[in-house]
Structure 1
Amino acid sequence: MKKGLLNTLFLFILMGCNFARALESLPVDSVSTQVSAQLTSSPFPGQIYTSTPTIIPFTETPSPTETETAIPTVTLTATLSPDDPRARLGNPTWKETFDKPNQNFYQDDNESIRFIYESGDLVLTAKNPNWTSWSMSYHKPANYYLEATFKVGECSSSDRYGLVFRAPDLTDGYFFGITCDGRFALKVFSQKGELIAWTNHPAINTGSNQVNRVGVLVQNNRYALYTNGKLLQETIDDTFVKEGLFGAYIASSTTTNFTVRVEDIAFWNQ
């Protein structure tokens, strides 16, 4: 009896190993490739998802979206403005500064991406154009303000990066991104088009070697998008209204080895 159980267990382990190898052998140009890993140094693994979807042109005519009146903006200064959520929320509920390796966010280096902890940052590199990758933390807050500080390397035009939030799993969620040339948008990854079409905004620091704080205020089905403490736009959407995963994403449009460094990421429960 015991010998039979041991043989059965060995068979399942062998099947699992073969399945893992099959995932690793998928070609780079496959429609969708998921990679996840258990971090042995942390009881809560970070997770990463990579995909090569057909990139929707930025010139696409946006569908009408429901928006609310934005709070009046103020002149950018070096200090936090009254509109900046971080100025009024105090200490965050949770914050990651990437000082300790192998904590909260997954790392990998393969033919398509390079995600590593380096010098106190989470370094995200998209090695190939038109390749979107993202990494999730294990937290699942409900209503909150989420913000990350990104430092951009060499970039051009539509190279983009930003936040993933309210993700029900590793394959979907809201994607709030900004581009190298100063545009922002909000979309549901699995849906065609954007909830908020790609729009220019002066609050976004443009070009290579810039730093941008990217934040989103999540309240039930209402979302307010911020960059560098300035409100960009608000919208309402009911696609994902429950708690979900969050993380950071990167997508190269034209730049090979497009890289951004996430200096910190934090959320404040609301």
Structure 2
Amino acid sequence: MRNPDAVAVVIGIAEYQLPDVPKVEFAVNDAQAIRQMLIQTLGYSESRALLRPNADVSMAKLHHLIRRQLRDLVVPGKSDVFVYYSGHGAPSPDTREAFLIPWDYDPNYLPTADTAYPLKDFYTDLAKLNARSVTVVLDACFSGQSEGGAVLKDIRPVVITVESPAATLPNGVVITATGAQGIASSHRESRHGLLTYFLLQALRGEAADEKGRVTVAALERYLKENVIQEARKRSRSQEPQVASLDAARVLAELPRSAVKAGKAVVVQKYGSLEITTDVGGDLYIDGVRQDTLRAGQAFVQQQIEAGPHQIEIRKPGYESKREEIVVPPDRKVQRDYALTPTLPTTPIREKAYGTIQVSSDAGGTLFIDEQKIADLSPFEKYTTARIEAGPHQVRISREGYRTNAQEVVVRPNETAKLDLTMPRIAIAVAKAPEAKKDVYPSPTGIVLFEDDFESKRNMTEYSTDKYCRTFYSQGGYVVRNVSQLSSVCYLNYSLLGILPANVRIDSDVTLLAGATNSLFGLRFGARAGDSFYVFGISGDGSYKLSRFEEGKWRDLVAWTKDDIVKTGAQVLNHLAVEIRGRTIRYFIDGRHLGSVDVTADVEGTFGLHVDTPGMEVLFDNLRIISLSGR
């Protein structure tokens, strides 16, 4: 059953500003659970159940919360008000009054009306609300002692006088954790205060009668019986107090079907809300201030109760805009408000803003209005911060690619989107030098696998390493080493499983970016236990063949400088390895460079290898052939 006019203030102070004040271990957890119970069980609106933890409960903020914010939300004669406080209380040895202790209290001084909230003033302020009913829960003690130690420094325990709140709140009920000299204990198993734990159980059905009603009298019986008994188990004395002039008052009416299970909740559906205004202003939803909006800024609330809501925009010099909207379940409602100036002269309107979203197939450096904004990765969608509406010059440049520059017009409150294409600059491929090694005829056999990477396969065919980032670009497959700690990036191609020791693996490789003295190329013969071989080249014109086994690298062919390896970035080399049993033959651009014999058949999975962080390599025209013969 919904209670649309009800208002709640829920306070939990677990940690105080000064470390000398003992912590109230579960206070914030208490407050969060109480607010959830109010919304789900007692039908309070989320926007009218105000949660205030820790630093949000300074002395000034606490006064403003009770005397202004709460007052502004109350509908006189219609609102049920629920105020919950979990934190410290303390006495004044001089006046023997009780005080609520705010977050910024200094325990080296006695509490006064200037540094803490007198309990009698607190009740008086609540009485002034003219609410239909008031329920107050104080999970705090007022002896000056707590589970964590003394709240006041160098002060002996004080016997305080607490006037009955019933006279001050004739339409209210006040529930306190203990009497004047008691200490409020915790229910550590549930991570709640002892009073709060049993209050939650009671209002969820444990204290309800056969009709689902929880009265003041029933709640008092339930709390005293359970809190006293549980405190004794912990060798403590705690007796909660319930004060009211109306013991028959019904505090909760729960669905009968859920009462016995103690799980009575109100089923609530939600939608979402987006609000903008042309000149900005203070936004209020259901009477609660949400934010101060700038011109064109969107306020988005992803989850708001389905049903009617009061929207108001206030701005000095403009007429307030008010509207009741209805949010359907699982739907989004958008409103763009234009405010009317109250001055006879035309007001100076604030600048309007939007954003720009840019991506490029090759990445590069982004400039807007000739100012460098960011370095983009290929296909990365980058959205700027707010930028003034109107025309802007956008440019992306990258070495080896044609610069793309365009003008884009940003409209107020909109995102201008640009997806830019940057063709590679044609690079003359140097004529291969005369062969220095033997030339083998093209092998014959069965093609096990081919991929020109023009058709974008599911990338899960590659077992992605956490140090690699991969994407399709420039007609090939790009692998980037994104490690922050000099780790190797390698990808195992798991589609074909274990390859026999009688295959040839070919691939085009092109260094796009990064170190020119580090290895990139083909990884093969990978077995369980992290054993594998790598044949590759570097951008400075060298090649090598290595084996990794038992956590160590061993060069089968050390770094070898050779003119067959084309140097620099943006140049293509063709790598190949032939595996025939225990013999590995290695090739660059079709030239046989050498052979190595090892101690066991070279069989296993294959993949791609990029050695150093920041390196980016393009792989293309990958082919695997099952060789005939040995």
Measure the CA separation in 2 of the matches of 1:89 and 1:141: 17
Code of the residue aligned with 1:95 in structure 2: it is: E
For the structure 1 residues 88 and 245, does the alpha-carbon distance in structure 2 shift closer, same or farther, using more than 3 Å as the test? closer
Q: Pick from 609, 620, 628: which aligns with 1:249?
A: 609
Measure the CA separation in 2 of the matches of 1:260 and 1:189: 21
Alignment partner of 1:235 is 2:596: yes
For the structure 1 residues 268 and 109, does the alpha-carbon distance in structure 2 shift closer, same or farther, using more than 3 Å as the test? closer
> Could you say which residue in structure 2 is the equivalent of 1:217?
578
> Could you say which residue in structure 1 is the equivalent of 2:546?
187
> Could you say which residue in structure 1 is the equivalent of 2:625?
268
Measure the CA separation in 1 of the matches of 2:463 and 2:476: 12
Task: Count residues with an aligned counterpart.
Answer: 188
> Could you say which residue in structure 1 is the equivalent of 2:492?
136
CA contact (8 A) 1:156 1:207 kept: no
CA contact (8 A) 2:465 2:489 kept: no
Code of the residue aligned with 1:246 in structure 2: it is: F
CA contact (8 A) 1:187 1:195 kept: yes
Deviations 1:231-263 (A, max 9, x none): 12211012x4153101111012xxx52101111
Equivalent residues in 2 for 1:118-157 (5 A)? 118-128=473-483, 130-138=486-494, 139=496, 140-142=498-500, 143-157=502-516
CA contact (8 A) 1:147 1:215 kept: yes
Q: CA deviation at 1:209?
A: 0.8
Tell me the percent identity.
21
Measure the CA separation in 2 of the matches of 1:206 and 1:170: 34
Deviations 1:81-118 (A, max 9, x none): 99365x453773311222223156427596x4312234
Measure the CA separation in 2 of the matches of 1:90 and 1:77: 29
SS at match of 1:205: coil
> Could you say which residue in structure 2 is the equivalent of 1:32?
none
Code of the residue aligned with 1:154 in structure 2: it is: A
- Structure possessing the higher radius of gyration over alpha carbons: 2
Q: Which runs of 5+ in 1 are unaligned?
A: 1-74
> Could you say which residue in structure 2 is the equivalent of 1:171?
530
For the structure 1 residues 118 and 244, does the alpha-carbon distance in structure 2 shift closer, same or farther, using more than 3 Å as the test? same
Q: CA deviation at 1:182?
A: 1.2
Please give the TM-score of this superposition, normalised by the length of structure 1.
Answer: 0.61
Deviations 1:39-96 (A, max 9, x none): xxxxxxxxxxxxxxxxxxxxxxxxxxxxxxxxxxxx9379xx99365x4537733112
> Could you say which residue in structure 2 is the equivalent of 1:72?
none
CA contact (8 A) 1:109 1:115 kept: no
Measure the CA separation in 1 of the matches of 2:470 and 2:446: 28
> Could you say which residue in structure 2 is the equivalent of 1:93?
448
Of 224-233 and 117-126, deviating more is 117-126
For the structure 1 residues 141 and 107, does the alpha-carbon distance in structure 2 shift closer, same or farther, using more than 3 Å as the test? closer
CA contact (8 A) 1:107 1:116 kept: no
CA contact (8 A) 1:126 1:250 kept: yes
Measure the CA separation in 2 of the matches of 1:82 and 1:91: 24
Code of the residue aligned with 1:261 in structure 2: it is: L
Measure the CA separation in 2 of the matches of 1:267 and 1:104: 19
Code of the residue aligned with 1:235 in structure 2: it is: V
For the structure 1 residues 212 and 266, does the alpha-carbon distance in structure 2 shift closer, same or farther, using more than 3 Å as the test? same
For the structure 1 residues 84 and 118, does the alpha-carbon distance in structure 2 shift closer, same or farther, using more than 3 Å as the test? farther
> Could you say which residue in structure 2 is the equivalent of 1:45?
none
For the structure 1 residues 124 and 103, does the alpha-carbon distance in structure 2 shift closer, same or farther, using more than 3 Å as the test? closer
Q: CA deviation at 1:170?
A: 7.2
Q: CA deviation at 1:210?
A: 0.9
Measure the CA separation in 2 of the matches of 1:170 and 1:133: 17
Q: CA deviation at 1:172?
A: 2.3
Measure the CA separation in 2 of the matches of 1:130 and 1:141: 29
CA contact (8 A) 2:438 2:593 kept: no
Alignment partner of 1:205 is 2:560: no
For the structure 1 residues 170 and 177, does the alpha-carbon distance in structure 2 shift closer, same or farther, using more than 3 Å as the test? farther
> Could you say which residue in structure 2 is the equivalent of 1:13?
none
For the structure 1 residues 145 and 107, does the alpha-carbon distance in structure 2 shift closer, same or farther, using more than 3 Å as the test? closer
Measure the CA separation in 2 of the matches of 1:82 and 1:88: 14
CA contact (8 A) 2:510 2:571 kept: yes
Measure the CA separation in 2 of the matches of 1:126 and 1:184: 19
Measure the CA separation in 2 of the matches of 1:127 and 1:226: 28
SS at match of 2:554: coil
CA contact (8 A) 1:153 1:259 kept: yes
CA contact (8 A) 1:225 1:231 kept: yes
Of 97-106 and 173-182, deviating more is 97-106
For the structure 1 residues 109 and 197, does the alpha-carbon distance in structure 2 shift closer, same or farther, using more than 3 Å as the test? closer
For the structure 1 residues 225 and 158, does the alpha-carbon distance in structure 2 shift closer, same or farther, using more than 3 Å as the test? same
Q: CA deviation at 1:146?
A: 0.7
Q: CA deviation at 1:201?
A: 1.4
Q: CA deviation at 1:161?
A: 0.5
CA contact (8 A) 1:95 1:266 kept: yes
